[in-house]
Amino acid sequence: MSENKQNSAPKSYLEETGGRKGIFKWILSTDHKRIGLLYLYSIMAWFFIGVTLGVLMKLELIAPGKTIMGAQSYNATFTVHGVIMIFLVVIPGLPAVFGNFMLPIQIGAKDVAFPKLNLLSWYIYIAGSILVVSSLFAGGGPPDTGWTFYAPYSFKTGTNMLPAVLGAFVLGFSSILTGLNFIVTTHRLRAPGMSWMKLPVFPWAIYGTAWIQLLATPIVGITLLMVLGERIFNIGFFDPAKGGDPILFQHLFWIYSHPAVYIMILPAMGAISEIIPTFSKKTIFGYRFIVFSTLAIAFVGYFVWGHHMFTSGMSGTALFTFSILTFIVAIPSAIKVFNWVATMHQGSISTDVPFLWAASFIFVFLVGGLTGLVLGALATNVHLHDTAFVVGHFHFIVFGGTGFAFFGALHYWFPKIYGKMYDRSWAKTGWAIFFVGYIALYMPMFFLGVMGMPRRYFDYLPEYHGPNIISSLGALVMVTGFVIMVINLFRAVKTGEKAPQNPWGGTNLEWQISSPPTLENFDEIPTIDKATYKYD
């Protein structure tokens, strides 16, 4: 390359400001990469708040009786913790951050199909979060229903349900528009030669997720509108005193919220499916199986919502059907675990930071999935429903699964996103402390649940004290690891050494462009002629 060419080489997207200054080069840019980072920073901010609330709860539970807060504050804390973590952190999570950043690049496109709509989705997200947070400060006190907003309590309680419910509704819009954008992008903007069966697994996962976002979110949207109708107009849809059926609310809520857990986990699985082959230097095992299991999860996941309602008084027929369907939906998840392990088998594994996150993901996901089966069986569910066991289960999957995959993806794509490399030994230290703290925090909950400790109480009987101490201390350890990780990444953005184009030896398109990418990602739209994940 001649001297001249070097100089006129296009600037990276971080340097390309479009003539805007300061914060405006972020909040006015329609570049999918900048929007991805906008989401990253906003989601991280909410995550900090959510973690703080979580730690406060753990401190309350470090000893029986009132420790640092009373019943009402505790109810408000777990509600706001849940709403923030579910609606503001994990649901947008991977799709909005890494989907935005990587989907166009991995399919060989310059941007998403509707860049302006993409930016609008972020604004809607922010509007929704402001509404949610305003519920903390306005009049009647923070909401205290739990993130599930169960009727009839959600329209009988005097606390600030309106802004919280409206906020969740608005956030749903953001999620829908993002999903819509990604589906059109995947259909229309794949580079020449990028047939569906050459699509890497992460875009596939984002695509499957986008369909769930699109098709499930409206149901919770209308349900929340109905709750608003109850509160404002006193209609009676879910009010037993007027003939309404609160169990119908549970149906409608879970028709969305079970698929929503797949909004959280599918992209996580997709990211893991990128990391594992790269660090095993081996083609992913059973590409077709992984793709089809992604679609199967997205599809069957729509029909199992009733497993959250086994003790609600549903008909026997429904109990039976939902239990069977729940067992069926575990199969594609198990296929994926099998495929990951088979990919590693006889590969030349390098235990670099992203791989450590991915490997620990597989472990915690396995625990989460198996305890899910315990809960999916009718007989055991009756004993375990609404105990600490459920809290253990979903944290193992939502936090252990989605969270670990998020951090893994962050460490995997960090050099591409910022063009900088982080300190790997600190990153490993952070991971190790986090992992140990994590296990100590959530493992005891399974035992507590089996012993019969109910969830969502600020107090417990003295016989539950032992495991609760371990759990609370684990929370502190985990947060320490988390802080180390964040500081390490922050330092890398500021002072990290320059990262090469392809630090891990990955094979997908994102590793064939500069780090960080240019504004348009590719000088020329690539033509794809070989299969994905080919290592020679």
Residues in contact with another protein by CB under 8 A are 110, 113-114, 176, 179-181, 183-184, 187-189, 214-219, 221-223, 225-226, 229, 233-237, 242-245, 247-248, 251-252, 255, 302-303, 306, 314-318, 321, 520
Q: Is 258 in the site for Cu ion (CB under 5 A)?
A: yes
Q: Which is closer to another protein, CB of 318 or CB of 349?
A: 318
Q: CB of residue 122 vs another protein: minimum separation in angstroms?
A: 18
Where in 398-427 is the site for ligand HEM (CB under 6 A)? 398, 401-402
Residue 121, contacted partner among another protein, Cu ion, ligand HEM, none, CB below 5-8 A by kind: none
Whole-number Å distance between alpha carbons of 131 and 102: 29
Q: CB of residue 420 vs another protein: minimum separation in angstroms?
A: 27
Q: What 3-state DSSP class applies to 454?
A: strand
CB atoms within 10 A of CB 379: 9
Each residue 293-332 as x (binds ligand HEM by CB under 6 A) or -, in order, gives --------------xx-----------------x---x--
Strand partners, 518: 12
Phi, psi of 409 (to 5 degrees): -60, -40
Can you state the percent helix, strand and coil of the chain, rounding each to 5?
Answer: 70, 0, 30
Q: What 3-state DSSP class applies to 188?
A: helix
Buried b (16+ CB within 10 A) or exposed e, 294-330: bbbbbbbbbbbbbbbbbebebeeeebeebbebbeebb
Strand partners, 421: 497
Whole-number Å distance between alpha carbons of 531 and 528: 8
Phi, psi of 452 (to 5 degrees): 110, 15
Q: Is 220 in the site for ligand HEM (CB under 6 A)?
A: no
Q: Which is closer to Cu ion, CB of 300 or CB of 451?
A: 300
Q: Which is closer to another protein, CB of 328 or CB of 476?
A: 328
Q: Which is closer to ligand HEM, CB of 77 or CB of 148?
A: 148
Q: CB of residue 249 vs Cu ion: minimum separation in angstroms?
A: 16
Give me the DSSP letters along 30-54. Answer: --HHHHHHHHHHHHHHHHHHHHHHH
Q: Which is closer to ligand HEM, CB of 323 or CB of 532?
A: 323
- Which residue of 54, 203, 376, 392 would you call a contact of ligand HEM, by CB under 6 A? 376
Inter-helix orientation angle 424-451/404-418, to 10°:
160
Q: Is 381 in the site for ligand HEM (CB under 6 A)?
A: yes
Whole-number Å distance between alpha carbons of 399 and 54: 12
Q: Is 385 in the site for ligand HEM (CB under 6 A)?
A: yes
User: What is residue 508's DSSP assignment?
Assistant: S
Q: Which stretch binds ligand HEM (CB under 6 A): 394-402, 429-437, 464-472, 520-528?
A: 394-402
Q: Which is closer to another protein, CB of 163 or CB of 306?
A: 306
Q: Which is closer to another protein, CB of 180 or CB of 335?
A: 180
Binding residues (CB under 6 A) for ligand HEM: these are 148, 261, 264-265, 307-308, 326, 330, 333, 369, 372-373, 375-376, 381, 385, 390, 393-394, 397-398, 401-402
